[in-house]
């Protein structure tokens, strides 16, 4: 699997932790820092240390695991740790973890002293196929996802398939949802390939293919003016459901579980509005329903869900804007959806 | 006075509030927001409203006046107000105020939903000749100045000389310090012109000249890799004194007062290290001492001041880095200064 060229940086797949060691050696950084969470500190940091030759010139900044850590308060904590450790403008931040680590770490680095270098070492499937590629950084405020952030490219991404072996099945499936989305929006062959694969254990080649698709999209439209919006399929409703669950459920939905719900609802809207066939709607609904656990979407959640959708970054002039499909493998951006339509989409899922 | 072309944006001097009205009309923004502090809300906002034709389609976000408001907590407050007002990605933020407003507002806008447009309407002399030009945004954490920020250019800057008439004398002199710095680092003629002028009431032409100098410097080096560092003259020691005063004094030093102290100390270091003549040191010392009130720098402050200097963004590898002068009108960047040298600089001022 060849190294992928992204927006002035490389995404490494083969011997990627050795590539990271080379990168650090050649980078002439004054210091480096590793941002981990309590899980990656245990399961991933030892492997990283070993591959880097157990250097003693780095400090570790550890945050709690989970989406709650993507809050501005944790970001302030990271900034203060960097200050206390004496990080200067020639420091490097290595984000070792899932999407929370790369989004938060990327934002913290892109704003610390007006920007220091950072790289991602994504350790979850979700972050390997989604968060680590594309140069979006972000944090949440009051559980509104990624409401604050920057467009800043990492200096490199190092994807190590071995890290996936440490993941629980549920986390693997969380990443699979984004892979399925990549197929749905722009590659029907890839969608068909995924349907035939064991998605509880996706191969390295499938992961690679997803990263390549996402990279193609973000390279063409780094600031989300047009084609990049395709990646938002499933996310208008999915993010609202995810936020709702994060606030209200003891055992919250994973990102992928919420996005799978969002994709079913938005596939229904695609069927109603943008020409997705009934057979394709059924195919998408069945594939996703077979993979992901059922979630009870009560009608009493509807007002809150709409309120979250209204705060979505993609909206304009107070109108809710969705990316839909015109067919499997064919996205369709900038569809204004009325509250009634969105509720119909939610209802489609609820009544399955 | 012609409009100055900066880094893909214009700096307007003539009829600038009418130009702002044009800018808004042509910008097709969904909404606009004015960030003010409690002073500019009273002294400047009415004039702005009037010039804009008393529009009703904007909301005002008001923060407390003063450097304390540049803290991350106030920034979070601005973000939350933007969320509550329903700001979308097509919104415009107008920063109406001094350097705190432009630095904080610029940072808040550059990170809100990964970046919305903003313009500056600087209302203090200091912000007209310094903060509003150059694309630096920033906020403080734990009183460490501008430790968090981005390089993001405003979409335009509208300088209205009339606003200066509302300012108290002390605020005018705070801005004059940066104007004098512009002369010292790269324009001996301008320095001489300033010395002969009434600096309690600088003319519009003098203000214009300072903006032009700053703009020339930042255009050549937007990310402070080399020549832009010239603007840091006086700021290594000056920022430390400013932070100290902000935390400890009931009536804190203004930015310009602190920078004037920093320039005297660093002129001394320039005399010791980079070839500034004794006559020039005397000229700088006398000019600044005549303009700014004396501040008692006790030796017991030294450890704290050095600690602040160590946290300065410009440092590398834990070494304190100063911009000095080799002559009046000739800067000299990247001078590592030892603690002993810095204390000598402080002592020079203290023993005047």
**Regarding predicted confidence, which is higher, B142 or B191?**
B191
Tell me which DSSP letter residue A223 carries.
T
Q: pLDDT for B2-46, tens place per residue? A: 999 998 999 999 999 999 999 999 988 989 999 999 999 999 999
Q: Residue B313 pLDDT > 80, yes or no?
A: no
Chain B positions touching A144 (Cβ under 8 A) are 83
Contacts of B107 in chain A (CB under 8 A): 111
User: Mean pLDDT over residues B135-142, rounded?
Assistant: 94
Pairwise CB contact (< 8 Å): A79 & B141: yes
pLDDT of residue A143: 81
Residue A228 neighbours by CB distance under 10 Å: 20
Residues of chain A contacting residue B143, judged by C-beta atoms under 8 Å apart: none
What pLDDT is attached to residue A120? 98
- Closest listed residue to residue B43, CA positions, set B81, B93, B98: B98
* Tokens representing residue B100 in the block: 């705190």
pLDDT at A67: 84
Q: What's the pLDDT at B164?
A: 95
Please state, in angstroms and as integers, the Cα–Cα distance from residue B348 to each residue in B231, B262, B271, B293, following that order: 22, 11, 11, 16
Find, in chain A, the residue whose alpha carbon is nearest to that of B321: A88
List strands edge to edge, sheet with A58-63: A4-5, A10-12, A156-158, A117-122, A91-97, A31-37, A58-63
> Which chain A residues are within 8 Å of B318, Cβ to Cβ?
86, 88
Contacts with A318 from chain B: Cβ below 8 Å: 86, 88
Per DSSP, chain A holds a count of helices (H) and strands (E) of 14, 11
Fold classification of A170-350 (topology level): Dehydroquinate synthase-like, alpha domain (1.20.1090)
Give B20→chain A minimum CA distance, Å.
Answer: 22
pLDDT band at residue B317 using 50, 70 and 90 as cut-offs: confident
B63 confidence band (pLDDT: 50, 70, 90):
very high
Query: Where exactly are the structural domains of chain B?
Result: 4-166, 170-350
**CB neighbours of B280 closer than 8 A, spacing ≥ 6?**
B267, B271, B325, B327, B328
pLDDT of the residue at B138: 96
Give dist(CA B337, CA B168) in Å, integer: 36
Q: Which of A111, A114, A141 sits opposite B136 (nearest CB)?
A: A114
Q: How far is A59 from chain B (nearest CA, A)?
A: 15
Q: Do A119 and A144 form a contact (C-beta atoms < 8 A)?
A: no
Low-confidence ranges of chain A (pLDDT < 70): none
CATH classification number, B4-166, choose in 3.30.70.20, 3.90.75.20, 1.10.1270.20, 3.40.50.1970: 3.40.50.1970
Helix (DSSP H) and strand (DSSP E) numbers for chain B:
14, 11
| Among B142, B166, B164, B138, residue whose Cα is nearest residue B152 | B138
C-alpha dist (Å) from residue A97 to A48, A110, A124: 11, 17, 7
* pLDDT in the model for residue A320: 93
* Beta carbons of A150 and B72 less than 8 Å apart: no
Set of chain A residues whose Cβ sits within 8 Å of the Cβ of B146: 114
pLDDT in tens, B181-195: 999 999 999 999 999
Cβ distance B316 to A88 less than 8 Å, yes or no, reads yes
Q: What is the pLDDT of residue A58?
A: 87
Stronger pLDDT, B277 or B143, i.e. the higher one? B277
Q: In this structure, what are the phi and psi dihedrals at residue B91, rounded to the nearest 5 degrees?
A: -85, 160
Chain B residues with at least one Cβ partner in A under 8 Å = 30, 72, 76, 79-80, 83, 86, 88-90, 107, 110-115, 136-138, 141-142, 144, 146-151, 310-311, 313-318
pLDDT of B250 above 90: yes
pLDDT of residue A1: 83
Question: Which residues of chain B are within 8 Å of residue A30 when distances are taken between CB atoms?
Answer: 316-317
Share of residues in chain B with pLDDT > 90 (%): 88
Write the ipTM.
Answer: 0.90
Q: What is the rounded CA–CA span in Å between residue B79 and residue A342? A: 27
Look at residue B131 in the predicted model and tell me its pLDDT.
87
CB atoms A76 and B80 under 8 Å: no
Angstroms from B26 CA to nearest CA on chain A:
17
* pLDDT band at residue B66 under the 50/70/90 scheme: confident
Closest CA to A110 of A91, A97, A126: A91
Give the pLDDT of residue B278.
Answer: 98
What would the two tokens of residue A102 be?
A: 């790369």
pLDDT at A276: 98
Pure H helices in A196-254 = 204-220, 235-248
Q: Do A151 and B115 touch (CB under 8 A)?
A: yes
For B78-136, the DSSP string reads HHHHHHHTT--TTEEEEEEESHHHHHHHHHHHHHBTT--EEEEEE-SHHIIIIITSSSB
């Amino acid at each position: 699997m060849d190294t992928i060229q992204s927006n002035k940086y490389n995404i490494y797949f083969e011997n990627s932790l050795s590539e990271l060691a080379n990168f650090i050696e050649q980078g002439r950084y004054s210091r480096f820092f590793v941002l981990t969470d309590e899980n990656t500190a245990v399961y991933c940091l030892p492997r990283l240390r070993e591959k880097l030759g157990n250097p003693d010139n780095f400090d570790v900044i550890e945050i709690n695991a989970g989406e709650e850590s993507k809050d501005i308060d944790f970001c302030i904590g990271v900034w203060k740790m960097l200050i206390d450790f004496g990080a200067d403008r020639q420091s490097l931040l290595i984000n070792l973890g899932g999407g929370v680590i790369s989004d938060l770490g990327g934002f913290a680095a892109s704003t610390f002293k007006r920007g220091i270098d950072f790289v991602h070492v994504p350790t979850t499937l979700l972050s390997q196929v989604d968060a680590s590629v594309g140069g979006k950084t972000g944090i949440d405020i009051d559980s509104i996802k990624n409401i604050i952030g920057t467009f800043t490219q990492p200096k490199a991404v190092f994807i190590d398939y071995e890290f996936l072996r440490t993941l629980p099945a549920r986390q693997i499936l969380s990443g699979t949802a984004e892979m399925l989305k990549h197929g749905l929006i722009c590659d029907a062959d890839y969608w068909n390939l995924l349907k035939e694969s064991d998605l509880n254990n996706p191969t390295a080649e499938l992961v690679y293919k997803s990263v390549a698709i996402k990279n193609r999209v973000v390279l063409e439209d780094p600031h989300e003016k047009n084609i990049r919006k395709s990646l938002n399929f499933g996310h208008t409703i999915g993010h609202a459901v995810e936020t709702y669950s994060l606030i209200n459920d003891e055992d919250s939905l994973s990102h992928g579980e919420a996005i799978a719900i969002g994709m079913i609802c938005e596939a229904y809207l695609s069927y109603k509005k943008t020409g997705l066939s009934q057979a394709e709607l059924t195919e998408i609904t069945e594939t996703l329903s077979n993979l992901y656990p059922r979630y009870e979407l009560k009608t009493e959640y509807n007002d809150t869900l709409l309120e979250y959708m209204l705060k979505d970054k993609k909206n304009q002039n107070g109108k809710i804007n969705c990316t839909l499909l015109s067919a499997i493998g064919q996205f369709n951006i900038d569809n204004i959806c009325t509250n009634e339509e969105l509720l119909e989409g939610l209802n489609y899922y609820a009544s399955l």
